[in-house]
């Protein structure tokens, strides 16, 4: 079946034409290191690696899975060699601080590379992907000694990282966490407990694995206020900073999963393992959210990746597979039948995938731009605004892009008909791999509660206003655009309605707090559709300015934007009415009536 091809032209459109990354990097003082020519060269090299090395291993990882033997894990054939190539090329160090061995390029550039890796082979990409969160946590909350010891090796790529949160009895509710951390005379802690669902918790790709672990000190208060954060390596660093004595932790087993078979999802047992405190005691959850927010943005990329992969494969199939005739008359009279892309329903499925993949790319790269500003800008007001926008948009991106990514994976399979159900085409793998994305790093329901409850209602709508103001200004500036006027008007109406919907739910919640959870998912999906509409309208405006070009990308942008507004955006009406309806229809059930 058709191999993955990095969508470099669309990436460049989003980076340089839609989001003006050249000016963005110039404002941050990094334009010399990240000029358009440098960025294009990096993307081209990444594309070669992803297309030529990672993509062919995607089906291998699914077929072989990981093998567990007495606590050790062997990854699928070719995974280790691919990781060695990845490290030798310097990819792990690209977007990290030079003082710890990084190349100092902006984090947003790493986001684009991560998209390519994830689309080519999500299972493989999770091994280095988890390291980014560990690096970020140590960079912001670790001691100088911890950064020199662990961060340098993680940036180098010779060591990898994980995060260890979930336990058999507690997933979302981390206040129930039981893993213990006993202080030792040498300043370390003895970590004892069991963690489950630990992605990349054990493998054979790197020399060491650095676990970022949540645990409780002996005198810790109950609940989430009594959680601390620790760095617990598989091998204890020796005097020269290399992996030395084996720590007392091990992988007890591998989970038998629906998808992402090429990544080891581990049960990790810590038996008085030596670890060191990261950040203040009993403030571990605050520090861990650095990791969690990085992971949530990464999971949003997973939704984009599955939408892109499904679209590429189903588009190629739809152009090649001949079945039936176009209702308006034969499109290819000399053939026995027409290619299925002539059928309107197939086009509906293809264009829905295209709208979610390309729209998701716009949103993801915009969030990466905000991350750059938050970390690199010297303008405190700009940093604060970027932080506020990230707080609002991260739960939307994580939940909405994974829900639509899974929908797109299903639509891609549907385009194949019965062949989509057959393993050899790779479509059913894409569906299985995509399914986890709406669950981990906080389910869609958890993201929705975070968005509606914490980010909007608890701030009296201030975070929402920061973003809706952008949309309002855009609509006002382009209200007289005749060619795009219907889209601008529709977006403007929904933007006003967004705030009104939040206020309506808020008033219901004053009478009954359960109304928030009852409305949250519909509110989040409504928010996601409006957010993508904003980016599609902006993309259409950019494309309109280039209509005289021979490049078909501009005509396609305008037409895809029109499809999104006509055939996808009306979904907001159903979500709006469901969110407004209140929770009585759910609450009015006793337990024995279910």
What positions carry a catalytic annotation?
441
DSSP 245-277: EEPSEEEEEE---SS-TTS-EEEEEEEEEEEEE
Element (H, E) at 213: strand 208-215
- Cβ pair 512, 583 in contact under 8 A: yes
**C-alpha to C-alpha distance for 470 and 475, rounded to whole angstroms:** 9
Please report, for the chain, how many H helices and E strands are present, in that order: 20, 11
Compute the CA torsion angle 527, 113, 131, 451 (nearest 10 deg). Answer: -10
Q: Could you give phi then psi for residue 105, rounded to 5 degrees? A: -80, 155
Residue 215 burial (CB count, 10 A): 28
Q: Report CA-CA distances (Å) from 119 to 5, 52, 58, 299, 372.
A: 9, 13, 10, 12, 23
Name, in order, each residue with C-beta under 8 angstroms of 561's C-beta and a sequence gap of 6 or more. Answer: 487, 536, 537, 539, 540, 543
**C-alpha to C-alpha distance for 282 and 344, rounded to whole angstroms:** 58
Q: Report CA-CA distances (Å) from 419 to 1, 58, 68, 428.
A: 12, 19, 32, 10
Long-range Cβ pairs for the range 337-341 (8 Å, 24+): 340/415, 341/315
Furthest-apart CA atoms within the chain: distance in Å: 84
- Cβ pair 335, 325 in contact under 8 A: no
Partner residues linked to 235 by β-bridges: 246
Nearest CA to 523 among 457, 442, 471, 441? 457
**C-alpha to C-alpha distance for 331 and 17, rounded to whole angstroms:** 35
Q: Could you give phi then psi for residue 390, rounded to 5 degrees? A: -65, -40
Q: Report CA-CA distances (Å) from 427 to 120, 306, 399, 408.
A: 13, 10, 22, 11
Q: Three-state SS for 103? A: coil
Q: Three-state SS for 246? A: strand
Q: Could you give phi then psi for residue 285, rounded to 5 degrees? A: -65, -35
């Amino acid at each position: 079946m058709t191999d993955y091809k990095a969508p470099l032209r669309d990436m460049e459109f989003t980076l340089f034409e839609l989001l003006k990354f050249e000016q963005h990097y110039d404002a941050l003082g990094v334009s010399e290191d990240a000029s358009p020519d440098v960025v294009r060269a990096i993307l081209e090299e990444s594309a070669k690696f992803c297309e030529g090395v990672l993509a062919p291993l995607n089906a291998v990882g699914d077929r072989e899975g990981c093998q567990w033997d007495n606590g050790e894990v062997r990854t699928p054939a070719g995974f280790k060699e691919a990781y060695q190539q990845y490290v030798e090329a310097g990819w792990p160090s690209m977007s990290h601080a030079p003082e710890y061995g990084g190349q100092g390029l902006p984090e947003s550039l790493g986001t684009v590379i991560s998209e390519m890796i994830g689309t080519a082979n999500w299972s493989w990409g999770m091994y280095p992907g988890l390291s980014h969160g560990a690096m970020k946590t140590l960079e912001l909350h670790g001691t100088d000694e911890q950064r020199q010891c662990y961060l340098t090796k993680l940036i180098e790529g010779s060591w990898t990282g994980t995060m260890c949160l979930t336990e058999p009895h507690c997933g979302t509710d981390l206040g129930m966490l039981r893993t213990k951390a006993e202080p030792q005379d040498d300043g370390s802690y003895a970590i004892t407990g069991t963690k489950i669902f630990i992605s990349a918790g054990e493998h054979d790709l790197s020399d060491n694995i650095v676990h970022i672990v949540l645990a409780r000190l002996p005198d810790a208060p109950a609940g989430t206020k009594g959680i601390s954060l620790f760095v617990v390596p598989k091998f204890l660093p020796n005097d020269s900073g290399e992996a030395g004595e084996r720590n007392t932790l091990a992988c007890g087993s591998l989970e038998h999963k629906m998808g992402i078979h090429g990544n080891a999802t581990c049960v990790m047992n810590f038996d008085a393992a030596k670890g060191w405190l990261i950040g203040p005691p009993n403030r571990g959850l605050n520090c861990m959210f650095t990791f969690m927010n990085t992971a949530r943005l990464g999971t949003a990329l997973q939704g984009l990746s599955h939408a892109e992969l499904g679209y590429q494969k189903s588009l190629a199939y739809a152009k090649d597979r001949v079945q039936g005739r176009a209702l308006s008359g034969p499109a290819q009279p000399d053939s026995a039948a027409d290619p299925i892309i002539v059928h309107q329903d197939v086009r509906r499925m293809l264009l829905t995938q295209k709208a979610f993949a390309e729209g998701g790319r716009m949103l993801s790269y915009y969030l990466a731009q905000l991350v750059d500003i938050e970390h690199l800008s010297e303008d405190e007001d700009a940093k604060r605004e970027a932080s506020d926008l990230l707080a609002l948009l991260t739960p939307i991106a994580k939940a909405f892009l994974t829900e639509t990514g899974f929908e797109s994976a299903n639509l891609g399979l549907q385009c194949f008909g019965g062949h989509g159900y057959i393993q050899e085409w790779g479509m059913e793998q894409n569906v299985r791999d995509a399914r986890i994305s709406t669950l981990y790093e906080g389910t869609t329901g958890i993201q929705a509660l975070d968005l509606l409850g914490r980010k909007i209602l608890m701030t009296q709508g201030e975070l929402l206003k920061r973003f809706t103001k952008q949309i309002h200004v855009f609509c006002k500036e382009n209200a007289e655009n005749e060619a795009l006027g219907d889209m601008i008007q529709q977006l403007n109406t929904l933007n006003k309605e967004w705030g009104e919907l939040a206020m309506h739910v808020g008033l219901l919640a004053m009478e009954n707090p359960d109304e928030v959870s009852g409305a949250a998912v519909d509110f989040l999906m409504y928010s996601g559709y409006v957010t993508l509409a904003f980016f599609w309208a902006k993309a259409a405006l950019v494309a309109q300015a280039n209509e005289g070009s021979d490049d078909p990308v501009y005509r396609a942008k305008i037409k895809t934007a029109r499809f999104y507004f006509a055939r996808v955006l009306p979904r907001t009406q159903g979500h709006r009415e469901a969110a407004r309806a209140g929770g009585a229809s759910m609450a009015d059930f006793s337990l024995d009536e279910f």
